[in-house]
A = this chain, B = another copy of it.
Amino acid sequence: MTAALYDRFRRVRAETLALAAPLSEEDCCVQSMTDASPVKWHLAHTSWFFETFILERFERPFHAFQPAFRMLFNSYYNGVGDKHPRPQRGMITRPGLAEVLAYRRNVDERMAMVIGEGAASSGLGELVELGLQHEQQHQELVLTDLKHLLSMNPLKPAYAQRGAVHATLAPEHRWIGFDGGVVHIGHAGDGFCFDNELPRHRQFVEPYALSSRLVTNAEYLAFIEDGGYRNPAVWLAEGWDWVRNGGNGESGGSGAIEAPLYWHRAESGWQEFTLHGMQALEPDRPATHLSFYEADAFARWAGARLPTEAEWEHAAASCPGDIDPCGIAQLFGVSWQWTSSSYSPYPGFTAPRGAIGEYNGKFMCNQYVLRGSSIATPAGHTRISYRNFFPAYARWQFSGIRLARSAWKA
């Protein structure tokens, strides 16, 4: 098990580096908004996580790579002590990228020692797994934060060249019905899960139906062309304020919101900024980079609604292999799917003791749950019970829409 654990450790850590490989020192250093972090910070913070929560406890004697990093790369753990303010993560030009990469290598070597010795250590395996899952979360953020940074550049540079692209056809749209009743929700089995997926518990779900696929760009464009962004009747009151205020200054602009985050209306037609640069909008691709407000407004305009997270999870659990035997496509690997559920603790939830208990619980307020996973989610980092969460205004993540309907009143 030690060898398997170390092998997994090595592979996950290498994947983070691979994501940063095409980037310059400058690309890695800059913070484009408070919600996003520099790539270099992600590289350092994920190492900090292993050093702080594992090496401090298991390495004998413990030698900090650089004691100042304990504060510098602490994200939000009050239990660890002081932390560098989040809006100033981009000020850290030193340590430079080279030193942060040396920090990574140092932590990797020390972790190799600890994992090698650690078969008998109480709790080591669980903590390493948590650190790796944490690192995978940041792998996705590396891509979404970098995409936002590049989008702020008027030259609209590309992160990567695009390979051969095959025309995408949207799967057929159908409503898939579910009977509901008392269902079991939350992580089952022995595998890893985050604390917020527990405890497994029962919920009562009324009969409902889910859309067989995600909303496409063409469908979202119809909403725009029907005046969706100018019609308060389809928006939550808070969403309408967000539209009129231009997303509270998102991107420094002052006008009203008129389209998804990265859409741009050119003379030649709609374009979309992607990790490959500006591209003509592809009508059959799932619409993405939408806020909760936009997802909710689209659903209302379409005569539908967003699913609850229990509805989503129950449906996903009915699909063996996650691949669609029940007819539900695009559950994973395309776009995160906004649910109508505010992020809150499951009945009986208790956060772990100590700083690690700050991982999830303290964010359970005024955020909405997204389910599934996205094109940027690392392979193997998906679960039916996975609960992603962001504030209602956030749209720099790969976030899209799956529609739902209540069936029980029909």
Contact, CB under 8 Å: B237 / A363: yes
Total interface residues on A, CB under 8 Å, equals 74
Cross-interface CB contact of A93 among B72, B79, B87, B149, cutoff 8 Å: B149
Q: How far is the CA of A240 from the CA of B365 in the complex (A)?
A: 12
Q: Is the CB of A204 within 8 A of B203?
A: yes
Assess the B233–A153 pair: CB atoms within 8 A.
no
Q: Is the interface of A mostly helix, strand, loop or mixed?
A: mixed
How far apart sit A382 and B308, CA to CA, in the bound complex (Å)? 29
State in angstroms the CA–CA spacing of A155 and B99 once bound together: 14
With a cutoff of 8 Å between Cβ atoms, the chain B residues found around residue A24 in the complex are: 25, 93-94, 96
Is residue A134 contacting chain B, with contact meaning CB distance below 8 A? no
Give residues of chain A (236-263) contacting chain B, Cβ–Cβ below 8 Å: 236-240, 252, 254
With a cutoff of 8 Å between Cβ atoms, the chain B residues found around residue A239 in the complex are 365
Report A10-46 CB contacts with B as 1/0, cut-off 8 Å: 0000000000000011111110100000001000000
Confirm or deny: A1 has a beta carbon within 8 angstroms of a beta carbon on chain B: no
Contacts of A182 in B (CB 8 A): 182, 204
In the bound complex, do residue B90 and residue A30 qualify as a contact, i.e. CB atoms below 8 Å apart? yes
Cα A95 to Cα B344 in complex, Å, equals 44
- Cβ contact within 8 Å between B153 and A30: no
Q: List which A138-165 residues lie within 8 A (CB) of chain B.
A: 149-150, 152-155, 157
Q: Is A63 an interface residue (CB 8 A)?
A: no
Chain copies in the assembled complex: 4
Question: Are A365 and B232 touching (Cβ within 8 A)?
Answer: no
* Chain B residues whose C-beta falls within 8 Å of the C-beta of A362 in the assembled complex: 235-237, 240
- A34 and B153 CA atoms in complex are apart in Å by 17
Q: Is the CB of B363 within 8 A of A392?
A: no
Which residues of B lie under 8 Å from residue A205 when comparing CB positions?
A: 347
Q: How far is the CB of A235 from chain B (nearest CB, A)?
A: 7
In the bound assembly, the distance between CA atoms of A408 and B293 in angstroms comes to 36
**Chain A positions 46-89 with a Cβ under 8 Å from a chain B Cβ:** 68, 71-72, 76, 78-79, 84-85, 87-88
Distance in angstroms from A342 CB to nearest chain B CB is 3
Contact A153/B93 with A25-B25, A202-B206, A364-B236 known, Cβ cut-off 8 Å: yes
- Residue in B25, B199, B392, B408 whose beta carbon sits within 8 Å of that of A26 in the complex: B25
A166 within 8 A of B: no
Contact B72 A155 (CB under 8 A): yes
CA distance A335 to B350 in the complex (A): 28
Task: Judge whether A347 and B206 touch: CB under 8 Å.
Answer: yes
Q: CB distance A153 to B91 under 8 Å?
A: yes
Confirm or deny: A380 has a beta carbon within 8 angstroms of a beta carbon on chain B: no
Which 6 A-B pairs rank lowest in CB-CB distance, beginning with the nearest?
A342-B342, A91-B152, A204-B204, A26-B93, A78-B232, A26-B29
| A-B pairs with beta carbons under 8 Å apart, 20 shown | A25-B25, A26-B29, A26-B96, A27-B93, A29-B93, A30-B90, A72-B154, A78-B232, A78-B233, A78-B240, A87-B252, A91-B153, A199-B409, A202-B204, A205-B347, A238-B365, A239-B365, A292-B365, A308-B347, A348-B408
